[in-house]
Structure formats: C-alpha cells, structure tokens
Amino acid sequence: FVPHQSNKKQILYYNPTTQTWEKPILREWDSIEKHPDGKYYYHKRSGEVVLDGSEGWSLSSSNNTLTDVVAFYMNNTLSCITDSLVICDKIPSIIRGVTGVEYDNIYISATGRININILKSKLSTQDVAGFKQWLQVNPVTVVYQLAQEEVYECTNLDLITYPNETNLIVS
C-alpha cells in the first residue's frame, strides 16, 4: 500500500488596483499562461457587465421599421472590440449590421455601445421606462472581448510531482 500524496495550489493573480491577490475568473477569451521567465500570468481579455435597468438607455431610431421588436442602446461605451459577438445569458448575440431581425438580440456597435432589440410583447410599455422595468426583473449578464488585453502576474503554479504517476485536476 502506498499512501496518497497530494499538492494543492490556489490560482491567484496580483491586482495592482486593489493591491491584493485575487482569484481570476476565466471567461471566453481569458487564459493563464506560463511565460519564458518561468512565471505564470493571467491574460484577461474579457470584460463583464450586468445590465439591471440602472444604466443610461436610449430608444434607437435605427430599427424603427421593425414591427415586433423595439431597439435600445446603452449611452456609455465599453472598452471592447467593436463589431464583435458578445456572450449573454438571456439574449442571443448577433453581428452588428444584420438587419430585419424580428427577435430578441444583442450586439456591440462600431462605437462600443451595447444595443438590445427586445420583443414588444415583453415590455409593459414600448419605451425606455418599460425596457428598464424589464431589465430590473430580468437582469442580463454580458461578457465581451476587451479592446486591450490586461496581463497580471499569478502565484507560482508549479506542482510537486510524484514518482511513477502524477495526476493533475483543475476545477
């Protein structure tokens, strides 16, 4: 019988803004990579925003020819890659410029604004107030690709290896 041996490490990165070591949240475009200097780095390429109706929204006139949906855009812009797909938990993503889409959809504009088209039947009123009310009841999480990658140093992730067999489990 050989007793079980293990080595467990928590992945942390140094956040210079808060001056603390934090656990990274890996999203679609993020990674942890070992660099030639032998250190591990967290490459943050994704941003996340939760839309809950507290944002500055405006009614868009660009899709005023659609009959089943109302178009809205968020006034503030994100530091993101424009015209790229986003990942959203409640609304399907489309590429900007697709026209005539008569279902819920979300996209990033060429200026970095979030645009949402929502079915009229889901809104109590087909205006900004009705849309904000819908978002308050149905908050939407959006993950987008950052325009500028952020790189942070991680704690050492080199594991102790054991004779004959080493299993690596990442959760």
pLDDT in tens, 83-139: 788 999 999 998 876 766 778 999 988 888 899 999 999 999 999 999 999 999 999
Integer angstrom CA distances of residue 10 from 21, 46, 121, 154, 157: 11, 21, 47, 10, 8
Please say if the pLDDT value at position 167 is more than 70. Answer: no
Distance, in Å, from the CA atom of 103 to the CA atom of 157, rounded to the nearest integer, reads 46
The closest of 166, 162, 152 to 21, measured between CA atoms, is: 152
pTM of this structure: 0.80
